[in-house]
Structure 1
Amino acid sequence: MASDAQNNPFIRNLASSDKKVRDQALDSLRTYLGAQSHISELDLLKLWKGLFYCLWMQDKPALQQRLSRDLASLVSTLRAPVVFPFLRAFFTTIAREWGHIEALRLDKYLYLIRQYVNASFSFLSRNKWKRDLLEQWNSVVEEIPLECQDMKIPNGLRYHVMDVWVDELEKFGGDEWESEDRSEILEELIVPVERMAKEGKLKPLREAAKECLADERLRAWRGQEDEVLDQSEEDDEEVEWGGFAD
């Protein structure tokens, strides 16, 4: 499964316990990526398969977190036309490989996903939350991590992205999200979550989206803290089953 990464010395060097070797490999990757104005989808998927297993091979917790932060920092080195294809390849890879992640390895990938949500918001923030960029970001999110209907997308990925959404967004403005000039940006950012709350194929997905939207911080930013939440929803037969009747 990890043969591509194991046979690639560059990828092995990224997972090295030797800081000098690891930093040199990361610098080389940053230099390469930063020089590209276009990278094909196939090449990005090949790269991300290698990076996925680079983290797979890293066993030391402290180095796992360092590597995840380093991988997320790659977004800041990319030229604008490469950013969203790179993010799409990342989420595609995580979705594809999710079923292979063992329980003991799950935490490091959850941390990597959190770092990538953060890196995405950081890119949008640096670019003044431009509407066209927000739309491109939403397109990636609605296509993969918060896609509403396709059960080939792992629900664990969906749940985790919604779980970290407000935490990471808070780091880029905090209470400033309450200001009127940010309201339109905020409403655009939460479109994928609101869509999941309405259109999620399974009731637990819709409920998870509603929990995200009900976060006290998000409600305060949206000026909803005094509103009464309507939690009612008809039971869904495809999700809930009360067992055989007596």
Structure 2
Amino acid sequence: MLKRQIILDTETTGINPKEGHRIIEIGCVELINRRFTGNNFHVYINPEREIEAEAIAVHGITNERLAHEPKFRDIAQSFFDYIQGAELVIHNAAFDVGFIDHEFALLKPALPPVAQYCGILDTLKLARDLHPGQKNNLDALCRRYDINNSHRTLHGALLDAEILADVYLLMTGGQVSLNLAADEQAEQQDQQGPLLIQRSGKLRVIKADNSETAAHEVRLDLVQKKGGSCLWRS
């Protein structure tokens, strides 16, 4: 059974939708069975209100930049259709979901809250469970999992969704970065040999230091003394 996940991020005019703040950018990256499909969703939105200076300092998006972009009501149905039925993977999900629910409630007719038609996985909670007592913002997680985010000088919804996708996959066991077209080749590969998978980025190679090598040799000595077979010395 195919599992569809949408890695999602938003940028907004401010912090609190209850104070009238709106979404100005949505970025989504689609994964199916933990594989990137390339079927992403990205849109800038005219919020029909001023963006707070503090928010502009974070994402760099100005009202002038958005003056000719569509209103949320213009993209709402296509966005709803895109995410419907998927599991949304979001860092600090309460923030983004709160804004999306607020935008949907403003529509006439209104659309239902996200949780009614999507699963929600909060990677901030996941990171805190995995790394208690440590910083778990996106930059900290990139450092922890050796993900290059040097191109992230400002926040951006699609860029942050792409980075979060890498973080999420590494936090949950790793992933091969390939198009779903590879699945269509699977049956042929069963006959032709193993499928070579192109992975994104470089794998880190961690070599044993001298003390670890010495401890390994002591363990091998013990194995041989007990009559065991040491493949490492055969």
Which category of TM-score, normalised to the shorter sequence, fits these structures?
under 0.3
TM-score, reference length from structure 2? 0.22
Normalising to structure 1: TM-score of the pair? 0.21
> Which one has the bigger strand percentage?
2
User: Whose helix fraction is larger, Structure 1's or Structure 2's?
Assistant: 1
For the pair shown, the structure with the greater C-alpha radius of gyration is: 2
